[in-house]
Amino acid sequence: MEKGSAVIKFIHPVEPSEAKGLVADVYAQIKRDFGRVAEPFMMHSPSPNLLAGAWMACRETELVGTVPRATKEAVAATVSQLNRCQYCVDAHTIMLSATGEGKAAKAIAKADYAEIPDQKMFDAVKWTLATNSPKSEDLEQPPFTPQEAPEVIGTAVFYHYINRMATVLLGGTPLPSSQGWLKAPLKGMASHMFSEAVHRPKNIGDSLQFLPEANLPGDLHWAQTNPNLAAAYARFAAAVEKAGESALPVAARRFVKEEISEWDGKASELNLAWSEETISKFDEATQAAARLALLTALAPNEVDAEIIAAFSKHFPGDDKLVAALAWASLTAARKIGTWLQPPKLRGVAQAPAGSLESSTESAASVQRKQQPLRS
Distance CA(114)–CA(370), nearest Å, equals 9
| pLDDT of 175 | 60
- Nearest-5° Cα angle at 304, 301 to 308: 125
**Coil vs helix vs strand at 8:** strand
274-285: average pLDDT: 93
Q: Of 292, 26, 35, give the one whose Cα is nearest residue 164.
A: 292
Distance CA(122)–CA(104), nearest Å, equals 9
User: What share of the chain in percent tops pLDDT 90?
Assistant: 76
Res 298 pLDDT > 80: yes
* End-to-end alpha carbon distance in the chain: 38
| pLDDT of 40 | 96
Q: Which residues, at least 6 apart from 275, have a Cβ–Cβ distance to it below 8 Å?
A: 255, 259, 294
Are 141 and 64 a contacting pair, CB within 8 Å? no
215 or 364, which is more confident: 215
Res 317 pLDDT > 50: yes
83-97: average pLDDT: 93
CATH class of 5-239: mainly alpha
Distance CA(45)–CA(26), nearest Å, equals 10
Q: What is the mean pLDDT of the chain?
A: 87
Res 16 pLDDT > 90: yes
Weakest mean pLDDT among 74-88, 189-203, 257-271: 189-203
Distance CA(288)–CA(309), nearest Å, equals 9
321-341: average pLDDT: 97
| pLDDT of 343 | 62
| pLDDT of 267 | 73
Helices within the chain (DSSP H only): 21-33, 39-42, 48-58, 69-82, 86-98, 102-109, 119-128, 137-140, 149-169, 180-199, 227-247, 250-261, 269-279, 284-298, 305-314, 318-338, 366-370
Specify whether 58 is catalytic. Answer: no
* pLDDT tens per residue across span 219-241: 999 999 999 999 999 999 999 99
pLDDT band, very low/low/confident/very high, at 177 (cuts 50, 70, 90): low
The structure's pTM equals 0.89
| pLDDT of 197 | 74
- Nearest-5° Cα angle at 130, 348 to 143: 35
User: Between the CA of residue 77 and those of 162, 173, 207, 334, 342, what are the distances in Å?
Assistant: 12, 13, 23, 19, 23
Torsional sign, CA 156, 227, 121, 86: positive
* pLDDT tens per residue across span 26-44: 999 999 999 999 999 999 9
Q: Of 179, 174, 3, give the one whose Cα is nearest residue 80.
A: 174
Weakest mean pLDDT among 205-214, 259-268, 332-341, 342-351: 342-351
273-292: average pLDDT: 94
What are the domain boundaries of the chain?
5-239, 246-338
Distance CA(223)–CA(229), nearest Å, equals 6
Weakest mean pLDDT among 125-139, 305-319, 330-344: 330-344
89-108: average pLDDT: 94
16-21: average pLDDT: 97
Distance CA(89)–CA(12), nearest Å, equals 24
| pLDDT of 173 | 72
User: What share of the chain in percent tops pLDDT 70?
Assistant: 83
Could you say which of 82, 88, 98, 232 is catalytic? 88
Res 348 pLDDT > 70: no
Distance CA(116)–CA(108), nearest Å, equals 8
* pLDDT tens per residue across span 189-209: 666 577 787 788 899 999 999
Q: Which residues, at least 6 apart from 164, have a Cβ–Cβ distance to it below 8 Å?
A: 83, 296, 297, 300, 325, 328, 329, 332, 333
